[in-house]
Amino acid sequence: MIAWWAGRGQSNPSIPEDRHHDEFWPSRRAVCPDHGGLARDRSGHCRPFCQGGRTVAINFSGSYDAAEETLRQAREASRHGGSSGTAHMIVQADVGDEHAISRMFDEVLGAWGRLDILVNNAGIQSQAESHVYAVDEYRRILDVDLTGPLICSQVAIRHFLSRPGGGTILNCSSVHEIVPKPGFIAYSISKGGLRNLTRTLALEYADRGIRVNAVAPGAIVTDINAAWKDDQEARANVESHIPMGRAGTPEEMAAVFAFLASNDASYVTGQTLYACGGLTLFGEFRENWSS
């Protein structure tokens, strides 16, 4: 898992002046769970947060070197934004392990004392026909992709409620939240569940200063899509199904997360924002074949 971003919030001129205080608009520090810690993917995600003066915790379960590289790039982005980034940190933990999640939050809160934004970014998948999909594998996928975000959210919400200021939770979902994905039954179920996790927590805690939203990427050039992202022919085939005609980038996804984490989205909760190049628009209907 990977813990990203949080930082100093910017004043929103559309908010009455008497509401510009920590009780309503905190955004100093955040943690983002992810199952990888891949510098090539995560540095793009982190950059706008770091450049905005925020402090990020980079959590990982895989390569320590990749996490260190992401940390280096996060600090470089902070320096470009005018801050040192020395408080950024990396934390190793497996988001599929409840006890590891608890230790991760203890470490981050022990170092920072406060958390303002949680970004649930964990995601793994595996392929098999649904009638032979191994139940143990199904459980492994859901532990990381759905149960992990729930447990992380529980810990974050308990912290948010323990002090003034509320907080923000952002879930990284997928177009497969609503688009079926044959052969990937566990992943598909996890993303459908993440949609209702987002909506349920948003409704339950809306009156306590806690916002919960999700971003649903489409085909993005990250390592979870290694099967096609570096293969010219395979990538062209994927992009032929996208109405905008191209795959998205981690930086484009980061901009959406940054918006939802900002005061510009202070009246937005319980929503999934699809950043998918039009994949959810039923592209085959661009041509009138049905009537």
DSSP letters along 235-267, please? Answer: HHHHHTTSTTSS-B-HHHHHHHHHHHHSGGGTT
Asked whether residue 217 is assigned to any structural domain, the reply reads yes
Asked whether residue 285 is assigned to any structural domain, the reply reads no
Find the CATH number of the domain harbouring 89: 3.40.50.720
Pairing of strands 55-60, 29-32: parallel
User: What pLDDT is stored for residue 211 in this prediction?
Assistant: 98
Below-70 pLDDT ranges, the chain: 1-28, 30, 32-45
Helices (H), 113-144: 135-142
Asked whether residue 63 is assigned to any structural domain, the reply reads yes
189-239: pLDDT as tens digits: 999 999 999 999 999 999 999 999 999 999 999 888 888 999 999 999 999
User: What pLDDT is stored for residue 59 in this prediction?
Assistant: 86
Domain around 59: 17-277
- Number of structural domains in the chain: 1
* 187: annotated active-site residue: yes
User: What pLDDT is stored for residue 289 in this prediction?
Assistant: 87
CB 215, CB 257: distance < 8 Å = yes
- The contacts of residue 126 (CB under 8 Å, 6+ apart) are 137, 141, 184, 186, 187
Q: Which position among 64, 133, 138, 187 bears the catalytic label?
A: 187
User: What pLDDT is stored for residue 45 in this prediction?
Assistant: 65
Query: For residues 67 and 281, what is the distance between their CA atoms, to the nearest angstrom?
Result: 36
Asked whether residue 5 is assigned to any structural domain, the reply reads no
Asked whether residue 28 is assigned to any structural domain, the reply reads yes
Asked whether residue 3 is assigned to any structural domain, the reply reads no
User: What pLDDT is stored for residue 19 in this prediction?
Assistant: 29
Asked whether residue 286 is assigned to any structural domain, the reply reads no
Query: For residues 222 and 245, what is the distance between their CA atoms, to the nearest angstrom?
Result: 17
Asked whether residue 282 is assigned to any structural domain, the reply reads no
CA dist 104 to 30, 94, 126, 216, Å? 12, 9, 26, 25
